[in-house]
């Protein structure tokens, strides 16, 4: 089962040589919020995408690279606390898995100093693993769902680029 998973996920593969390279994948405003785990060993060889959270759980980081991009791109999500009485959970808009408000909630991305956009997502961004698990259980080929996920990630980074004012 592991081998199968790895085959599927090898369709997007990239590596990051150093902490400097990883940092430079993020926008300057996001770089201030970066905290790297101690267990990152460079070069990082990444399948699908790289994600981690800061120890407080406030920030979730995503680094992704479509095959046609020259360089990987990173983004910092900030957890948006659910309003009182709103803690119901729901469906992740990227992988469509269902979870409680502990697992799935709003995460915001700062587009420019005045604008943030919220995404309703798995808080740990384990979307690819959840798609894999769900597909395996249903006996379906996950490739299409992976492609949908990558497409949504690509759109997120396109949205960010459209707001980018700083070179
Ligand atoms: Zn998800």
**pLDDT for res 162:** 87
- Residue 117 CA to ligand 1 center (angstroms) comes to 17
| Cα distances (Å, whole numbers) of residue 166 to 111, 154, 163 | 11, 20, 9
> How many domains are there within the chain?
1
Residue 112's pLDDT is what?
87
Residue pair 145/135 in contact (Cβ under 8 Å)? The answer is yes
Q: Quick one: pLDDT at residue 5?
A: 45
State the Cα–Cα distance between residues 2 and 42, nearest whole angstrom. Answer: 24
Per-residue pLDDT of the chain (167 residues; tens, 9 = 90+): 344 444 454 489 999 999 999 999 999 999 999 999 999 999 999 999 999 999 998 999 999 999 999 999 999 999 987 666 666 789 999 999 999 988 999 999 999 888 999 999 999 999 999 999 999 999 999 999 999 999 999 999 999 998 865 54
pLDDT of residue 85: 64
pLDDT of residue 101: 84
Distance from the alpha carbon of residue 104 to the mean position of ligand 1, in angstroms: 8
Give 126 Cα–ligand 1 centroid separation in angstroms.
Answer: 6
Ligand 1 center from residue 130 Cα (angstroms): 7
Asked if omega into 57 is within 30° of 0 (cis), the reply is no
CA 12 to ligand 1 centroid distance, Å:
18
**CA 148, 111, 51, 123 torsion: positive or negative?**
negative
> What residues does 16 pair with on adjacent strands?
44
Q: What spacing in Å lies between the alpha carbon of 154 and ligand 1's midpoint?
A: 15
> Near ion ligand 1, which residues have CB within 5 Å?
92, 94-95, 122, 127
Q: Are 59 and 77 in contact (CB under 8 A)?
A: yes
10 conformational bin, left if phi > 0, alpha if psi -120 to 50, beta if neither = alpha
CA atoms within 13 A on the CB side of 112: 9
Give the range of the structural domain holding residue 7, as residue numbers without chain letter: 2-163
Contact between 51 and 125 (Cβ < 8 Å): yes
Q: How far is the CA of 128 from the centre of ligand 1 (A)?
A: 7
pLDDT of 13-60, one tens digit each?
999 999 999 999 999 999 999 999 999 999 999 999 999 999 998 999
Query: Cα of 167 to ligand 1 centre, how many Å?
Result: 31
Are the CB atoms for 31 and 63 separated by under 8 Å? no
């Amino acid at each position: 089962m592991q081998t199968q998973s790895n085959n599927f996920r090898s369709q997007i593969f990239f590596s990051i040589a150093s902490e400097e390279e990883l940092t430079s994948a993020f926008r300057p405003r996001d770089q201030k919020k970066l905290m790297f785990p101690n267990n990152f060993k460079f070069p990082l060889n990444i399948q699908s995408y790289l994600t981690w959270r800061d120890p407080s759980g406030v920030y979730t980081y995503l680094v992704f690279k479509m095959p046609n991009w020259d360089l990987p791109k990173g983004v910092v999500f900030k957890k948006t606390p659910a309003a009182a009485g709103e803690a119901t959970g729901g469906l992740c808009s990227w992988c469509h898995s269902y979870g409680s408000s502990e697992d799935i909630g709003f995460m915001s991305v700062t587009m420019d100093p005045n604008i943030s956009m919220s995404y309703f997502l798995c808080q740990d961004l384990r979307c690819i693993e959840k798609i894999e698990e769900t597909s395996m259980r249903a006996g379906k080929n996950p490739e299409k769902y992976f492609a949908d996920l990558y497409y949504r990630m690509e759109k997120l980074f396109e949205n960010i680029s459209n707001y980018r004012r700083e070179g």
